Amino acid sequence: MKTITTISIALAFLLSCDWFHINPGPCDASGPVIVYKTKSDYHDKVSVQLSKDKKSITCYPGKDDAARQKPIELENGYLLKRMCGDTFLSITIDDYSNSTQTFSNADLLSLVLDSDPYIEKYECCECTGLDTAKINNLIKENQLGKCKNIK
């Protein structure tokens, strides 16, 4: 029993040390790195993921997570987001976050603005991580094709 306790304490100590802690990379649990342009201005709108048949919502943010959906402005009108979503709703991120309403799947579907809003869309975690300077350099050099084209 002493051995198990000693090992448990040692493991707890080692795992709590910064030098031993392994931070997740940009392509894992922290979400995708999506660089995009849309047909219209959706920068303040909630993004959700539709099913392939576009008849249901398969991924949507919690109200606390919605504020993290605000995109980062990049060069030449591109935007960066780190969340699921292939379409935008008519509700703003702020209104959604502050709402006391619980939205059903039908409610969210009724708020869809455009089921195909993207002009260009790239997944850039493999080639840039979350380094916006690297992403902006790719944009300036017309090299976004180095990222995975998902549109």
User: What string of H, E and C letters represents the secondary structure of 31-58?
Assistant: CCCEEEEECCCCCCEEEEEECCCCCCEE
Q: What total of structural domains would you count in the chain?
A: 1
> Does 18 map to a domain?
no
Asked if the model's pLDDT at residue 127 lies above 90, the reply is: no
> Does 51 map to a domain?
yes
> Does 92 map to a domain?
yes
Q: What's the whole-number average pLDDT of the chain?
A: 81
Query: What pLDDT is recorded for position 4?
Result: 52
* Class of residue 142 by CB neighbours under 10 A (exposed 0-12, middle 13-18, buried 19+): exposed
pTM exceeds 0.85, yes or no:
no
Per residue in 15-59, pLDDT (tens digit) is 333 333 233 334 555 567 889 999 999 999 999 999 999 999 999
CB–CB of 96/69 below 8 Å?
no
> Does 54 map to a domain?
yes
Q: Distance between CA atoms of 136 and 58, rounded to whole angstroms? A: 31
> Does 123 map to a domain?
yes
Per residue in 57-116, pLDDT (tens digit) is 999 999 888 887 889 999 999 999 877 788 999 999 999 999 999 999 999 999 999 999
Query: What pLDDT is recorded for position 126?
Result: 77
> Does 11 map to a domain?
no
> Does 118 map to a domain?
yes
Query: What pLDDT is recorded for position 67?
Result: 81
> Does 75 map to a domain?
yes
Structural domain span for residue 81: 24-149
Q: Distance between CA atoms of 16 and 75, rounded to whole angstroms? A: 39
Query: What pLDDT is recorded for position 11?
Result: 39
